[in-house]
Structure 1
Amino acid sequence: MSLSSQNIHDIRATWSELAQDAEGTTDAFYAELFRIAPDVRPMFADTDLTKQGRKLAAAIGLVVRHADNLVPMVAPLREMGARHAGYGVEDRHYDAVGQALIATLQARLGPTFTPAARDAWIAAYSAVAGTMQAGAADLTRQSA
């Protein structure tokens, strides 16, 4: 699980801009997620979305900070994937989250979200989602 030096530069540069209004970014993300995948909305029925948004921004920030060495992130991401499986998250939901993330970044960053930055975020999200899905698969195997 590694990113190129250009990927790392691009996600750090764009995240530093987005982090200035992390709450607005995460609010926009959840609005987009619920728009494109309304079936996930019930999973958040008892969730304080402001608090959840802060957790999301912190998690993204952590991945961005460790983008040059994601190895320490593997175990926590696998654990997070197992927890999410317990919430009913399925592989198809990861696709919706990825779509919502990219659409949100595009909307929030406008022309700053270059094709290279888009590719960098797709690479980073793919690494994170794949690791989380592996953690969910571990849980499934252990339960069988």
Structure 2
Amino acid sequence: MDPYAISLIQNSFSQVRPQKEAFAEHFYDDLFATSPEVKDYFDGVDMRQQGDKLMAALHLVVKGLTNLDALVPLVEDMAIRHVDYGVQPDDYDKVGASLLRTFARTLNEGFTQEAEMAWSEAYDTLATVMKVAAYPAGGRGFSAAPASDKKPFWKFWS
């Protein structure tokens, strides 16, 4: 990912951090409204704490975009943990769409098309990394072959 795209992501995230509770609430409201089937994953969960976890994960990702070698194992571990909650491969697309809509709603015209494209690229790439880790070939309905036997596909992104 090029430095300009990373700066767009960092800038847009810095704008939502001061209102992180509202951002997280809007995100989950959008996710549950557009994909009500995922709400079952959150039965008995304190949504305020869940919002804190969301914002911490986003902070980790935003900070880690400049060091993918350190970030990728962390998101892979997160993905494997999410399997225990029942998360399915197609749920990643639902989350990504809600994330983009939440940025657009929160930042309004401040969420430029360039920023949206940068977030979309970052999210899609990391979601693929997570799905590959959580649903290895032959398991649970997702597999993605690496682009090269010598280099993991996400390394081509950096």
When the two structures are superposed, what TM-score results if normalisation uses the length of structure 2?
0.84
Q: Is the 8 A contact 1:82 1:138 kept in 2?
A: no
Identify which range, 63-72 or 105-114, moves more after superposition: 63-72
> Any unmatched runs of 5+ in structure 1?
none
Which residue identity is paired with 1:66?
G
The structure 2 residue matched to 1:114, chosen from 112, 116, 122, is 112
Give, in angstroms, the shift of residue 140 of structure 1. 7.0
Identify which range, 124-133 or 23-32, moves more after superposition: 124-133
Q: Which has the higher helix share?
A: 1
The structure 2 residue matched to 1:67, chosen from 62, 65, 68, is 65
Q: Is the 8 A contact 2:31 2:95 kept in 1?
A: yes
Greater length-normalized contact order (CA 8 Å, ≥ 6 residues apart): 1
Aligned to 1:49: 47
Aligned to 2:131: 133
Give, in angstroms, the shift of residue 78 of structure 1. 1.0
**Closer/same/farther in 2, CA of residues 61 and 121 from structure 1, 3 Å limit:** same
Partner secondary structure for residue 72 of structure 1? helix
Q: Is the 8 A contact 1:80 1:135 kept in 2?
A: no
Separation in 1 of the partners of 2:138 and 2:45? 25
Aligned to 2:15: 17
1:30-52 residue CA offsets vs partner (Å, 9 max, x unmatched): 00000110000111011111001
1:42-84 residue CA offsets vs partner (Å, 9 max, x unmatched): 1101111100110110110111112112220111211111111
Partner secondary structure for residue 120 of structure 2? helix
Separation in 2 of the partners of 1:66 and 1:92? 24
Aligned to 2:88: 90
Give, in angstroms, the shift of residue 138 of structure 1. 3.5
When the two structures are superposed, what TM-score results if normalisation uses the length of structure 1?
0.91
- How many percent of aligned residue pairs carry the same amino acid? 34
- Runs ≥4 residues deviating over 4 A: none
Separation in 2 of the partners of 1:79 and 1:6? 28
Identify which range, 126-135 or 31-40, moves more after superposition: 126-135
Identify which range, 125-134 or 107-116, moves more after superposition: 125-134
Q: Given the alignment of the two structures, is residue 39 of structure 1 paired with residue 11 of structure 2, yes or no?
A: no
Aligned to 1:123: 121
Which residue identity is paired with 1:15?
F
